[in-house]
Amino acid sequence: MSEIMAFPHPNPGSRMRGGFSPRRGAAWILGAMAWLAAGLVGAVLALVLTLTVVVIAAMSSLLLGLAAAAVRARRAVHTQGSGALIEARRVGGHSWVAYGWDGDL
């Protein structure tokens, strides 16, 4: 039992401490590049989200303006009318007879 070692390496902490390894340096550089790439992707996504919100706000403002113009135009049409209506009656098929059109409008 005394020959069985608990760790496969005679000095298990030596890999974690000190010493320069090309793999360790490359891993650090690749990790930094991945971190920068993730930051860049995050910044681009934030910009896209911001532009999306701006476009939605502009479209909703345009829609609100069109609705206000439509309400204003509808009120203007109703107030400008003289109140005289032309009466029309259907006499069959596609034929109609209109009354009141020859008066003063």
Per-domain residue ranges of the chain: 41-79
Band of pLDDT at residue 19, cut at 50, 70 and 90? low
Give CA separation, 28 vs 25, 74, 85, in Å: 5, 69, 85
Pairwise CA distance, residues 59 & 66, whole Å: 10
Indicate if the pLDDT at residue 12 is higher than 70: no
Q: 48 versus 104: which is more confidently predicted?
A: 48
Above 70 in pLDDT, residue 50? Answer: yes
Tokens of 101: 């059109």
pLDDT in tens, 22-45: 788 889 999 999 999 999 999 999
Strands (E), the chain: 87-92, 95-99
Residue 94 per-residue DSSP state: T
